[in-house]
């Protein structure tokens, strides 16, 4: 199966990998998960495959098997480093790949996130992004200032609420997140590009008239501005969001540059893309490029039977079949290429792959999947832009306040 358009590829980095038993694999490095070198190696490996960007998972609570409370398991990875700080540490060690850490919109403030991601954009020279994520209920007790909805517990049959039911419970939180992103974007624009004069002879470092208050007043936030960080190199760093149902699709279509979805097949992918495009038009963004990426957990092998054997070994150590919010692909790089191209024909413009085991499945993505896609004309052979927005074909936006001033 071949294609005539290039796909975008990202990888989602999380601990030792997305499978809970990944840390017990022979090639895993569990003793290094809290070291800078571990993350630098992973991102450098992804960059060697010419991937568009990496995302780095984060949360404000320990990992757990349930969303409402901490568990008592000792056989799975617990503990992580701050994703934004990881990205800032790795940025000077890389040259092309985008860096997209996760930061929550629930127990933080837009001002803090805006300056952190803007700083990352300066440190990386225009390769920063942000994955906007709602907090889970189990994060609430760490702050004590507020409560957010709690998901219903599994019923007697063990069944969990559907993605649509979950999104409905969190509808207010998504509305808050929309305001959060709006404030962050306004703060990024609160300095005009030429606000810094830096002229010692005239004793003028900045043009104060080119710093603008954002004056946002809403249900959740009242923010004056301007930012303390000048306008980032990209103007607007990349904003990304994950969605599984209509409410988060709407959030992504209104606020993000990349929306991740978790399609089980091409039909589901096409329906989600169509829904996101409709919400994009309703939000007045019809003329903007909003990428829709498919998320897949990947367990890869040189042969299909080898991949199945790896997954069987991992599930055996877990004591159950691993399932998550995204589908799990198990097979060869060539079979994965078939799947990605088929899903792209439903309207997806790229994919965020979640390696089941790090670095093993990341290595296979770089060494086998990327060459296979390139052979089929579906992936580039070099980096052809200096910024993350450029890699994704996104323009550098005009500053909204500069236009108002004129």
Helices 266-282, 246-255: inter-axial angle, 10-degree rounding = 50
Closest by CA position to 232, among listed 288, 192, 291? 192
Q: Are 163 and 245 in contact (CB under 8 A)?
A: yes
H or E element, residue 111 = helix 110-123
Largest CA distance in the chain: 76
Q: Tokens standing for 154?
A: 């599994």
265 is in an annotated binding site: no
Closest by CA position to 15, among listed 100, 79, 95? 79
Q: Which residues are within 8 A (CB) of 167 and not within 5 positions of it... i.e. 6 or more apart?
A: 174, 244, 245, 246, 247, 248
Q: Are 295 and 351 in contact (CB under 8 A)?
A: yes
| CA–CA dist 396, 384 (Å, integer) | 16
| CA–CA dist 283, 277 (Å, integer) | 10
State the CB neighbour count (10 A cutoff) for residue 310. 20
Residue showing tokens 């963004």: 285
Q: What is the 3-state secondary structure (H, E, C) of 207-234?
A: CHHHECCCCEECCCCEECCCCCCCCCCC
| CA–CA dist 176, 279 (Å, integer) | 18
207 is in an annotated binding site: no
Residues in the annotated binding site: 58, 102
Residues in the annotated binding site for FMN: 58, 102
């Amino acid at each position: 199966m071949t294609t005539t358009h290039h796909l975008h590829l990202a990888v989602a980095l999380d601990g030792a990998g997305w499978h809970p038993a990944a840390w017990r694999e022979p090639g895993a490095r569990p003793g290094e998960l809290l070291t800078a070198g571990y993350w630098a190696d992973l991102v450098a490996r992804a960059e060697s495959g010419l991937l568009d960007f990496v995302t780095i998972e984060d949360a404000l609570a320990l990992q757990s098997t349930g969303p409402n409370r901490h568990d008592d398991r000792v056989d799975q990875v617990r503990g992580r480093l701050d994703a934004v700080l990881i990205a800032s540490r790795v940025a000077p060690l890389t040259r092309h790949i985008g860096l997209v850490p996760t930061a929550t919109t629930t127990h933080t403030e837009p001002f803090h996130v805006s300056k952190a991601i803007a700083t990352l954009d300066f440190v990386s020279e225009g390769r920063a992004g942000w994955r906007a994520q709602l907090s889970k209920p189990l994060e609430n007790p760490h702050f004590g200032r507020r409560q957010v909805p709690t998901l219903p517990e599994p019923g007697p049959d063990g069944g969990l609420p559907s993605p649509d039911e979950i999104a409905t419970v969190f509808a207010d939180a998504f509305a808050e997140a929309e305001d959060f992103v709006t404030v962050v974007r306004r703060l990024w624009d609160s300095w005009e590009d030429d606000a810094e004069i830096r002229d010692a002879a005239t004793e003028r470092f900045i043009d104060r008239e080119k710093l603008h208050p954002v004056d946002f007043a809403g249900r959740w936030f009242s923010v004056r501005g301007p930012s303390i960080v000048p306008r980032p190199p990209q103007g607007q760093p990349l904003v990304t969001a994950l969605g599984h149902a209509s409410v988060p699709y709407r959030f992504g279509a209104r606020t993000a540059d990349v929306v991740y979805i978790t399609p089980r097949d091409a039909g589901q992918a096409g329906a989600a893309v169509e829904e996101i495009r409709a919400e994009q038009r309703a939000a007045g963004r019809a003329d903007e490029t909003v990428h829709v990426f498919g998320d897949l957990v990947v367990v890869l092998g040189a042969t299909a039977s080898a991949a199945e054997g790896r997954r069987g070994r991992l599930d055996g150590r877990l004591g159950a079949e691993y399932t998550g919010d995204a589908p799990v692909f198990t097979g060869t790089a060539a079979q994965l290429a078939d799947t990605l191209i088929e899903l792209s024909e439903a309207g997806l413009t790229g994919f965020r792959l979640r390696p089941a085991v790090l670095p093993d499945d990341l290595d296979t993505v770089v060494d086998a999947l990327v060459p296979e896609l390139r052979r089929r004309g579906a992936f580039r052979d070099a980096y052809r832009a200096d910024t993350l927005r450029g890699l994704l074909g996104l323009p550098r936006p005009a500053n909204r306040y500069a236009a108002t001033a004129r």
